[in-house]
Structure 1
Amino acid sequence: MTQTTVAPATVAEVMAELAALEDAKTRGVNERHGDDHGVNLGELRALAKRLKTQQDLARRLWATGDSAARLLATLICRPRAFERDELDAMLRQARTPKVHDWLVNYVVKKSPHAEALRVAWAADPDPVVASAGWALTTERVAKKPAGLDLAGLLDTIEAEMRDAPDRLQWAMNHCLAQIGIEHAGHRARAIDIGERLRVLEDHPTPPNCTSPFAPVWIAEMVRRRHDG
């Protein structure tokens, strides 16, 4: 019995599918959050599931510069196949929030270069790049804190978070909250820093969602763990 194989999709075929999924209402919602595409993310994930892993196609889709294509690329790539310099270049090209976040969370975090990039990016003068370094640091605070200087991280947050640009400030604040949630020995100081800096204290929070204001965030997550 002859086994049939399915030819890999071409960039042109995939771009045509993405164009067909484009929706003006979805684009309007996304643009209010700084993103520049109109493809429903559920439909994008369904397309990725059908395409499965295709590293060469992922690289080609990323090279188009199209945000929907780049989001799709993060879902069908092989994260461990990228070199460190390649990931660094990709992050600097990822200027919309969703592409940036998916690249960090779905690709870089699974890469053997994640730790080296975390250290390099956190010290980068570009605040968007630095925010990726802080996102990776937050991941380590929660999952692999051994070797991290948590007190030193709090020193940096205390000195720099209040005046940091929005994306970097958000990432630092997440790290502050994570330290307070995960590490009881640093909790009081993390809460004190949050209370004094007041960062994101007035951030709009939907009903039934936890405020990103660090003291509230820390208290709520600790309460849930104790109640659970």
Structure 2
Amino acid sequence: MAELASLEDPGARAVNEKHGDDHGVNLTKLRAVAKRLRTQQELSRELWGTGDTAARLLALLICRPKAFERDELDVMLRDARTPKVHDWLVNYVVKKNPYAEELRVSWFADPDPVVASAGWALTTERVAKKPGGLDLVGLLDVIEAEMKDAPERLQWAMNHCLAQIGIEHAELRARARDIGERLEVLKDYPTSPGCTSPFAPAWIAEMVRRRQVT
């Protein structure tokens, strides 16, 4: 904890706080600390228990994703309120855990929109890698009905799922684009030169183009 405190950078904190993250540690430096520590599950749990955002990010880098029980991950997810911790927990830990599918189903329709966004993120992973058994048309129905007015983090997760369906499943591409065009979610989101817009129709078109080129 003392070492993490010594890495505090006011400039990094200012940037992070704009995105809702309350820490000031440069992530490259944080990863260097994790590389030195290697995997340490018990230390990971202790770091998580501090509640400190930088410590929790480090915890997620040195843990053993498969070592967590289902209920433990559920508690952690519900306690992960900053965007970066939430994102890393889902992508670095839950996706690699044996209970990922159970948690996906459990979280997907949770009344807490932040928890539900994790369920949607896991669903998007399945859309891309293991779509068998998913009701893709049903997902598009929910997105069409609810994405426009969803809270921000849930809206982002639903939009990602919409784009992924359009990218991966040609038979649903036209409908996915149409939903994106009509709802106009993230249509005007500022995008840096060379980066792909998160606006679903543009995102779908660009990724399909890239695959055709390669």
TM-score, structure 2 as length reference: 0.99
**2:199 paired residue number:** 213
Work out which of the residue numbers 97, 101, 104 in structure 1 matches 2:87: 101
- The 5 Å alignment of 1:188-199 reads 188-199=174-185
Q: CA deviation at 1:74?
A: 0.4
Question: 1:141-198 CA distances to partner (integer Å, 9 max, x unpaired)?
Answer: 0011111110010011001000000000000000000000000011011001101111
Q: CA deviation at 1:100?
A: 0.3
**2:15 paired residue number:** 29
Q: Are positions 1:49 and 2:35 aligned together? A: yes
Q: Are positions 1:174 and 2:171 aligned together? A: no
Partner Cα distance (1:197, 1:212) in 2: 13
Partner Cα distance (1:221, 1:32) in 2: 28
Partner Cα distance (2:164, 2:31) in 1: 29
Task: Write the letter of the residue equivalent to 2:20.
Answer: G
Partner Cα distance (2:159, 2:17) in 1: 24
Partner Cα distance (1:210, 1:77) in 2: 32
Partner Cα distance (1:185, 1:125) in 2: 31
Question: Which structure has the larger Rg over C-alpha atoms?
Answer: 1
Q: CA deviation at 1:48?
A: 0.3
**2:72 paired residue number:** 86
Partner Cα distance (1:160, 1:35) in 2: 26
RMSD: 0.5
Q: Are positions 1:125 and 2:75 aligned together? A: no
Identity among equivalent positions (%) equals 81
Count of equivalent residues? 214
Work out which of the residue numbers 155, 159, 172 in structure 1 matches 2:145: 159
**1:9 paired residue number:** none
In structure 2, list runs of 5 or more residues that go unmatched: none
Q: CA deviation at 1:54?
A: 0.3
In structure 1, list runs of 5 or more residues that go unmatched: 1-14
Q: Are positions 1:64 and 2:47 aligned together? A: no
Partner Cα distance (1:207, 1:125) in 2: 37
Q: CA deviation at 1:129?
A: 0.4
Partner Cα distance (1:16, 1:203) in 2: 38
Runs of 4+ in 1 over 4 A off after TM superposition: none
TM-score, structure 1 as length reference: 0.93
Partner Cα distance (1:199, 1:63) in 2: 37
Question: 1:46-89 CA distances to partner (integer Å, 9 max, x unpaired)?
Answer: 10000000000000000000000000000000111101000000
Partner Cα distance (2:73, 2:177) in 1: 34
Question: 1:70-117 CA distances to partner (integer Å, 9 max, x unpaired)?
Answer: 000000001111010000000011000000000000000000010000
